[in-house]
A and B are shown apart, each in its own frame.
Chain A
Amino acid sequence: MPSIPQARLRNFSIIAHVDHGKSTLADRILELTHTIDARQMTSQVLDSMDLEREKGITIKARAVRLEHTARDGLRYGINLIDTPGHVDFSYEVSRSLQACEGAILVVDAAQGIEAQTLANVHLALAQGLVIIPVINKIDLPSADPERVMTELEDVLAMPREEVILASAKEGTGIPEILEAIVERIPPPTGDPDAPLRGLIFDSHYDPYKGVVAYVRLAEGTLHQRESIRLMASGAQAEILELGVFRPQLVPVERLGPGEVGYVATGLKSVADCQVGDTLTASHHPAAQPLPGYKPARSLVFAGLYPLEGPDYPLLRDALEKLHLNDASITFEPESSVALGFGFRCGFLGLLHMEIIQERLEREFGLDLIASAPSVEYHVTLTHGRGEIPVDNPARLPGPSDIEEIAEPWVKVSIITPSQYIGTLMELATGRRGTIGTMEYLDPQRVLITFELPLAEVIVDFYDQLKSRTQGYASMDYEPIGYRQGTLVKLDVLVNGEPVDALSLIVHRDKSRAAGQGLVEKLKELIPRQMFEVPVQAAIGSNVVARETIRAMRKNVLAKCYGGDITRKRKLLEKQKEGKQRMKRVGSVEIPQEAFLAVLRTGDG
């Protein structure tokens, strides 16, 4: 690949709300620049994880190197860094943006600005990026680019003459976007002869090449087979391979300032090559590392336990490997009376939690149980014994040891058609929320903010928002600190035995309703057993709700003749597998999904 001078390099991201067509736009850009030929073209090339394609969302940021001959006749090297669009992954977005000088802002021509659009634009502006606004899906019958342009102008101060109209689906506007990237986004700065400094923004593990670090060079030049050092970990390595993403890995001889590529380090340990570390040359090291990333802040915590106790070491290995790929998960060992040994994990949000659990199950073949998710509480102990963080309700000290409990609050921003304001206010106030501001984006659409306890948001708030607004509202949230609350621990007893993994911390005024909702849901989710099983919710020794799961009465194959024997045996095998996927707590078999019952209790 011929070398392109630094002045003709461009690094950009695409930021968008979920479903506004970011991945399709990336596909079209890859096609137009012949990065991927038509034969290899699959839809949403950059979403290579099965989960991403299934869910239609981007989870991991990805980089790809394009080459494009602009109208000035010169050849440009362009790095596209794809970003996730979901609220849980703003951390990933901010990391991607740090590797760029510009961003394409994609807004749906029919839907206009959404909550996530605002959040991402603010992230990009905070990093001083040039923003190229694109109104996508102008081919839709319901497209109203004029209205969206007005919104962009009013809400984000984007001049309408800078807006490019496009249809990624039909390929219109794509050449204009490429031209704007070349014209409007500045080349990366950085002295090619300065001591080498490159920021590691992602990595993966390859069994042959060791840790493969994804790096964005700030200064200096990196050569094939050079000796390198990681400034934070102190690890040394020889470069086994150096290259760029097209989007598959293609080796190159060298990388200069502003370039984005990968370095196969041969390092075996994940810990030696962390995301956020600075890579430098061993023979001429830089004096100061680059400012790293702010560590991701976990907002949701849950215990992850192997269904089978002996899988514990496998789970630990899997979490370590996944952590290399997704620095935003945290984990530390914990044990549960009900579930045995596992890990307390921190996640960016509930979707992130769901995705991590699915990745652990699919990519590492583990069967897992997740305990009820929780936020992190700050508990002030009595007698001046200080404050402790509690992210596991089962670990909440007894009432006599607690002076005060504080819980995290968030500011939730919602953009909604104005006819839904009433129902959303009802939703927020029902969840202990207070109304902040209200601003009309246009006569039909409103930006409302609420302040809510995070614990009330993680439990199906988003689902409720979508169902109450027929899917039209979008939301984003940001932490705004801790506030004191009248909170109590709600324990669940199954067949008389407390199941610590089901414990919850709830507001005292809502404890009875929460307990009732939870035991009703558990009654639905726990299949009938050989005997009657009481399910109780209790605060201390005071039972606040009770349901009974009746004994199983019938599980029979009525007919079993010549044609049925093989079929019925297979049905029995399925039943047997189902039993194996349940967790035995005391003498009761509890299915995995029951541990997440709290998420499904509806708007309690």
Chain B
Amino acid sequence: MAVHTATPANPPDQQPDPVHVTDRVGSGSDPFDAGRDPMGGRPRPPVGLYLHIPFCVSLCPYCDFVVVTGHAARGPGSRIEAFVGALHAELTLRADALDAIDGIGGPDRTALRSVYLGGGTPSLLTAAQVAGLLDHIADRFGIALDAEVTLEANPGPTERGDIAGFRAAGVTRLSIGAQSMDPAELRRLGRRHDPVDVRAAIAEARAAGIRSVSVDLLMDVPGQTLASWDATLHAVASLEPDHVSTYQLTLDDPDAEGLTTVEGDHLPVRAGARRWRRRAAAEQDQDRAAAMDARADRVLDAVGLARYELSNRARPGHASRHNLAYWRREPVEAVGPGAHAFDGVTRRWNAARLDRYLAALVPPDDGSPSLPPGGTEVIDDPTVRAETAILGLRLADGIDAAFGEDPRLGPGLAWGMAHELVARRADRLVLTPRGRLLSNEVFARLLP
């Protein structure tokens, strides 16, 4: 795979050392090393790249991701082709921008360790479109030989796409949006597939030689009982996935959070989805949800799917490398509407609206493409510390016990220990099983 063809913006002698990547958060002598910019406030090159593919055949009422449906996603009026062109244009502009930054531009930049095509439903892309994007990325950013390349897919026969073709294009990991193995629950969630489709999708992935297969599940959803959850867990366990995400259904309100303005990174919630969420929220039950979480531990631990993050479980060697980068505050580049990037200093996001995204990157009359609208946020030092601890505590590995000595974080961590939400394991602080479900109580107390 090619590394770089761009002209280096700086002489090689000004290049920094390759970024040191720790295996665990804060395992160095200073617990704040990880997630902190080792170069003193300067951006670092990305270790991963996220591409947001916003198309879905239909909208699930609980989903907050940037998604467009209907004519734009399918059929003669599909805008997918135009969109893929826009992604290429953004990839070029982002790579150019990185190349222009002192110290991290040029051919010596470390190749990406992960690429993630999320959505939306990226499996609506053709294998050729995926191959084109991955080639372009390899060309401009570099993709490491052993990189993890994930593609999210819906399990339905008309939505999961050409899995063998994706594999040939370079995809190594398939993340399947199963959500439940109960047909009635799937219908209430607005999902278009049946449980048998999940089995078929996994079989196809295995046959195609996809190295790592992940399944997403939702708990505390309308109509779900402890028994139906148990059945879903056993059904999924029998399919032998390498990775399972178990998400508590959270019914947030991006409109109320002010995220859906024209410049915002979310789209407004439709009236029908709003009604659905109100009803679903009324059916949620935190005692039952806690029981479901415990049940997931019992069933999935038994088949070797150990929890490595609050909502994620994997067999050894199958933890999501791309997502680990987020929790370790490593730099990740991102393209597509609503996508978020981080360079170690600044968080940057693209606005959510597809029209504006396309208008900037594929301007009419052959104008030259410009970066899409969006925003940035510079993270100040106290927030860096809080984020590092919060994200680190999400991981089973926890954080260095030295965080407890920090004057800002110490009281919140001590409170968590006093309430048995945080425990000390050797030189680490980790969330207890109860603390995992009540983690926000600890996290809110760690914020500056």
> Are B252 and A571 within 8 A (Cβ)?
yes
B228 CB within 8 Å of chain A: no
Closest to A555 in B: B440
Contacts of B173 in A (CB 8 A): none
> Are B310 and A558 within 8 A (Cβ)?
yes
- Out of A555, A559, A569, A570, which one reaches B311, CB within 8 Å? A559
> Are A559 and B250 within 8 A (Cβ)?
yes
> Are B249 and A558 within 8 A (Cβ)?
yes
A254 to chain B, nearest CB (A): 54
CA distance A571 to B440 in the complex (A): 10
Contacts of A579 in B (CB 8 A): 444
B421 to chain A, nearest CB (A): 8
CA distance A569 to B391 in the complex (A): 10
> Are B247 and A559 within 8 A (Cβ)?
yes
Choose, from A56-64, A375-383, A546-554, the stretch at the interface.
A546-554
Contacts of B248 in A (CB 8 A): 554, 556, 558
CA distance A552 to B289 in the complex (A): 11
> Are B394 and A569 within 8 A (Cβ)?
no
What is the 8 Å Cβ interface bit string for chain B, positions 217-258, against chain A (1 contact, 0 not)? 000000000000000000000000000000111101000010
Q: Helix, strand, loop or mixed for chain B's interface?
A: mixed
CA distance A559 to B310 in the complex (A): 8
CA distance A400 to B168 in the complex (A): 90
Supposing A554-B290, A557-B439, A567-B257 touch, asked if A572 and B311 sit within 8 A by C-beta, the answer is no
Task: Tell which of A554, A560, A572 has the most Cβ of chain B within 10 Å.
Answer: A554
Supposing A565-B347, A576-B447 touch, asked if A560 and B391 sit within 8 A by C-beta, the answer is yes
CA distance A559 to B251 in the complex (A): 12
A208 CB within 8 Å of chain B: no
Supposing A562-B334, A573-B447 touch, asked if A553 and B290 sit within 8 A by C-beta, the answer is yes
Contacts of A570 in B (CB 8 A): 257
CA distance A530 to B434 in the complex (A): 10
The number of residues on chain B lying at the interface, defined by a beta carbon within 8 Å of a beta carbon of chain A, is 46
Contacts of B349 in A (CB 8 A): 563, 566
Q: Helix, strand, loop or mixed for chain A's interface?
A: loop
Contacts of A572 in B (CB 8 A): 390, 440, 443-444, 447
> Are B444 and A575 within 8 A (Cβ)?
yes
- Out of B341, B387, B438, B445, which one reaches A576, CB within 8 Å? B445
> Are A566 and B347 within 8 A (Cβ)?
yes
B340 CB within 8 Å of chain A: yes
> Are B441 and A550 within 8 A (Cβ)?
no
CA distance A552 to B287 in the complex (A): 8
CA distance A573 to B289 in the complex (A): 24
> Are B439 and A569 within 8 A (Cβ)?
no
Contacts of B338 in A (CB 8 A): 563
- Out of A528, A562, A571, which one reaches B326, CB within 8 Å? A562
Contacts of A556 in B (CB 8 A): 248, 310, 436-440
Contacts of B436 in A (CB 8 A): 556
Closest to B65 in A: A563
CA distance A552 to B257 in the complex (A): 24
> Are B286 and A562 within 8 A (Cβ)?
no
B323 CB within 8 Å of chain A: yes
Task: Tell which of B286, B289, B290, B444 has the most Cβ of chain A within 10 Å.
Answer: B444
Closest to B323 in A: A561
Contacting residues of chain A (412-430) with chain B, CB-CB under 8 angstroms = none
> Are A566 and B257 within 8 A (Cβ)?
no
Contacts of B377 in A (CB 8 A): 566
B90 CB within 8 Å of chain A: no
CA distance A565 to B327 in the complex (A): 9
Contacts of B391 in A (CB 8 A): 560, 565
- Out of B259, B386, B441, which one reaches A567, CB within 8 Å? B259
Supposing A559-B311, A576-B444 touch, asked if A554 and B265 sit within 8 A by C-beta, the answer is no
Closest to A578 in B: B444
A373 to chain B, nearest CB (A): 31
Contacts of B447 in A (CB 8 A): 569, 572-573, 576
A570 to chain B, nearest CB (A): 7
CA distance A550 to B286 in the complex (A): 10
> Are A565 and B440 within 8 A (Cβ)?
no
Closest to A550 in B: B287
B280 to chain A, nearest CB (A): 14
CA distance A530 to B435 in the complex (A): 11
B383 CB within 8 Å of chain A: yes
Closest to B266 in A: A567
CA distance A575 to B447 in the complex (A): 11
> Are A563 and B340 within 8 A (Cβ)?
yes
Contacts of B440 in A (CB 8 A): 555-557, 572, 575
Closest to B420 in A: A530
- Out of A553, A559, A571, which one reaches B438, CB within 8 Å? A553
Supposing A559-B311, A563-B265 touch, asked if A569 and B445 sit within 8 A by C-beta, the answer is no
Contacts of A566 in B (CB 8 A): 340, 347, 349, 377
CA distance A528 to B437 in the complex (A): 14
B339 CB within 8 Å of chain A: yes
Contacting residues of chain B (307-323) with chain A, CB-CB under 8 angstroms = 310-311, 323
A532 to chain B, nearest CB (A): 12
- Out of B252, B323, B342, B438, which one reaches A555, CB within 8 Å? B438
Contacts of A559 in B (CB 8 A): 247, 250, 311
Contacting residues of chain B (18-35) with chain A, CB-CB under 8 angstroms = none
B141 CB within 8 Å of chain A: no
Closest to B342 in A: A562
Contacts of B326 in A (CB 8 A): 560-562, 565
B419 CB within 8 Å of chain A: yes
What is the 8 Å Cβ interface bit string for chain B, positions 408-448, against chain A (1 contact, 0 not)? 00000000000100000000000000001111110111010
B158 to chain A, nearest CB (A): 26
Contacts of A552 in B (CB 8 A): 286, 438, 441
CA distance A332 to B31 in the complex (A): 53
B429 to chain A, nearest CB (A): 18
> Are B249 and A530 within 8 A (Cβ)?
no
CA distance A576 to B387 in the complex (A): 15
CA distance A563 to B322 in the complex (A): 13
Task: Tell which of B249, B377, B394, B441 has the most Cβ of chain A within 10 Å.
Answer: B441
Contacts of A567 in B (CB 8 A): 257, 259, 265
CA distance A118 to B331 in the complex (A): 72
B50 CB within 8 Å of chain A: yes
Contacting residues of chain A (124-175) with chain B, CB-CB under 8 angstroms = none
What is the 8 Å Cβ interface bit string for chain B, positions 325-367, against chain A (1 contact, 0 not)? 0110000101000111110000101000000000000000000
CA distance A554 to B347 in the complex (A): 29
Contacts of A530 in B (CB 8 A): 419, 438, 441
A569 to chain B, nearest CB (A): 7
CA distance A530 to B441 in the complex (A): 9
Contacts of B250 in A (CB 8 A): 557-559
CA distance A366 to B383 in the complex (A): 27
Supposing A550-B287, A558-B247 touch, asked if A563 and B438 sit within 8 A by C-beta, the answer is no
Closest to B334 in A: A562
Contacts of B259 in A (CB 8 A): 567
Contacts of B265 in A (CB 8 A): 563, 567
Closest to B386 in A: A569
- Other A-B contacts than A554-B286, A566-B377, 19 sampled, CB-CB below 8 A, are A528-B286, A552-B441, A553-B286, A553-B438, A554-B290, A555-B439, A556-B439, A558-B247, A558-B249, A560-B326, A562-B334, A565-B340, A565-B391, A567-B257, A567-B265, A569-B383, A571-B252, A572-B443, A576-B445
- Measuring CB to CB, which residues of chain B are less than 8 angstroms from any residue of chain A? 50, 247-250, 252, 257, 259, 265, 286-287, 289-290, 293, 310-311, 323, 326-327, 332, 334, 338-342, 347, 349, 377, 383, 386-387, 390-391, 394, 419, 436-441, 443-445, 447
- Measuring CB to CB, which residues of chain A are less than 8 angstroms from any residue of chain B? 528, 530, 550, 552-563, 565-567, 569-573, 575-576, 579
Query: What are some 10 contacts across the A-B interface (CB < 8 A)?
Result: A552-B438, A553-B437, A554-B293, A554-B437, A560-B310, A562-B326, A563-B265, A565-B326, A569-B386, A572-B440
Closest 8 CB pairs of A and B: A563-B340, A553-B290, A554-B286, A558-B247, A555-B440, A576-B444, A558-B248, A553-B286
